Amino acid sequence: MLVSNNSYVPPKYFILNGIPGLERVHVWISLPFCTMYIISLLGNLGLVYLIHHEESLHHPMYFFLAMLSLVDLFTCTTTLPNALCIFWFNLKEINFNACLVQMFFVHGFTGVESGVLMLMALDRYVAICYPLRYATILTNPIIAKAGLVTFLRGALLMIPFPFLVKRLPFCQSNIISHTYCDHMSVVKLSCASIKVNVIYGLVVALLIGVFDISCISVSYTMILRAVVSLSSADARQKAFSTCTAHISAIIVTYVPAFFTFFTHRFGGHTIPSSLHIIVANLYLLLPPALNPIVYGVKTKQIRDNVIKLLQGEKGASTQDK
């Protein structure tokens, strides 16, 4: 907002416009979004409870899975309730500072999620390549420190984003064509150069995305070499089956993430904004909704403990009657 003599004050609020061009079907779009959010809440809370409750799941792999579930819960909760308010009640205003806070948490939690997926790949690498030393390498203090470092990395790298946005002048529109305050969607409203914001965004993408994917790729290359060298076909199948759920989580997380990242920077005029916004929301919703299901189906220990827990509750309710 222009005041005088090229001085600016930040706007008091932004307007989150939802999905432009699809306003008439906002209510219908909200139904699968809301369903996925409910599945995310129930699935991830249930998974965290199960890992905490069952001592047989007190192993590094499941501790990392509990971290992923908690991060997924926070990630979708930072955006989905706000999006539903837009779809259902047409509540589009968001305070400028609240927008910056949401931006920080959205990008911070997605950065932490990427880090946790990398830690889970390292966990599988140690479990398959060094099975006899697995428990001594990945001790509880090491797991806690790794989780803390991953969280701090995500938080510290995202702190500059709100300040980089706050320094920009917004002298034109305050309407954001999105359902939440994404960094690039906000800075594109500025009437000044956003070069610094774009460069820092690329630096963060390199420090988090490229680094994590490189670690994951190296881990699975070593895992593949170790599995192929096994003499027994059953042993090879058993070893690799422990990785299938994690590979599924990687695909579900990184495919929409890459689509969102590259379309923001290189495909803004060729890809419809409505498709970009829908994929950006799925990027935050699909992993939290699908990860508990995938791990529940693919991981025998989790599946067996869920059945055991349900049978225990059924038996208890029968005794009460």
Residue 214 within any structural domain of the chain:
yes
β-bridge partners, 109: none
Report which of 202, 192, 178, 176 is spatially closest to residue 261, judged by C-alpha positions.
202
Interval 271-286 mean pLDDT: 91
Predicted confidence band of residue 265 (pLDDT cuts 50, 70, 90)? low
Report which of 117, 102, 131 is spatially closest to residue 230, judged by C-alpha positions.
131
Interval 136-146 mean pLDDT: 96
End-to-end CA separation in angstroms for the chain: 67
Residue 58 within any structural domain of the chain:
yes
Say if residues 227 and 125 touch (Cβ distance below 8 Å).
Answer: no
One-letter amino acid at 321 equals K
Q: What is the C-alpha to C-alpha distance for residues 90 and 233, in angstroms, rounded to an integer?
A: 57
Predicted confidence band of residue 318 (pLDDT cuts 50, 70, 90)? low
Residue 320 within any structural domain of the chain:
no
Residue 93 φ/ψ, nearest 5 degrees: -75, 140
- pTM, two decimals, is 0.92
Per-residue pLDDT, 259:
85
Q: What is the DSSP string of 223-242?
A: HHHHHHT-S-HHHHHHHHHT
Pairing of strands 13-16, 175-176: parallel
Q: What is the DSSP string of 29-55?
A: HHHHHHHHHHHHHHHHHHHHHHHHH-G
Residue 108 within any structural domain of the chain:
yes
3-class DSSP state of 175? strand
Predicted confidence band of residue 236 (pLDDT cuts 50, 70, 90)? confident
Per-residue pLDDT, 129:
92
Q: Tell me the CA distances in angstroms from 46 to 73, 76, 168, 173, 283, one per residue in order.
A: 11, 16, 43, 43, 22
Residue 309 within any structural domain of the chain:
no
Residue 308 within any structural domain of the chain:
no
Alpha helices in 130-187 (DSSP H): 134-137, 140-158, 160-166, 183-187
Residue 314 within any structural domain of the chain:
no
Contact partners, residue 280, CB within 8 Å, separation at least 6: 178, 182, 256, 260
β-bridge partners, 93: 15
Interval 292-302 mean pLDDT: 91
Tokens of residue 113, six digits? 């999620």
**pLDDT higher for 266 or 110?**
110
Contact partners, residue 189, CB within 8 Å, separation at least 6: 14, 170, 172, 173, 174, 175, 176
One-letter amino acid at 259 equals F
Answer yes or no: is pLDDT of 316 > 70.
no
CATH at 255? 1.20.1070.10
Answer yes or no: is pLDDT of 141 > 70.
yes
Say if residues 194 and 210 touch (Cβ distance below 8 Å).
Answer: no
Domain count, the chain: 1
Residue 272 within any structural domain of the chain:
yes
One-letter amino acid at 176 equals I
Tokens of residue 82, six digits? 């706000």
Q: What is the C-alpha to C-alpha distance for residues 295 and 65, in angstroms, rounded to an integer?
A: 9
Interval 123-148 mean pLDDT: 95
Structural domain containing residue 275: 13-300
Q: How many residues can be counted in the chain?
A: 321
Predicted confidence band of residue 268 (pLDDT cuts 50, 70, 90)? low
Structural element, H or E, at residue 127: helix 96-129
One-letter amino acid at 51 equals I
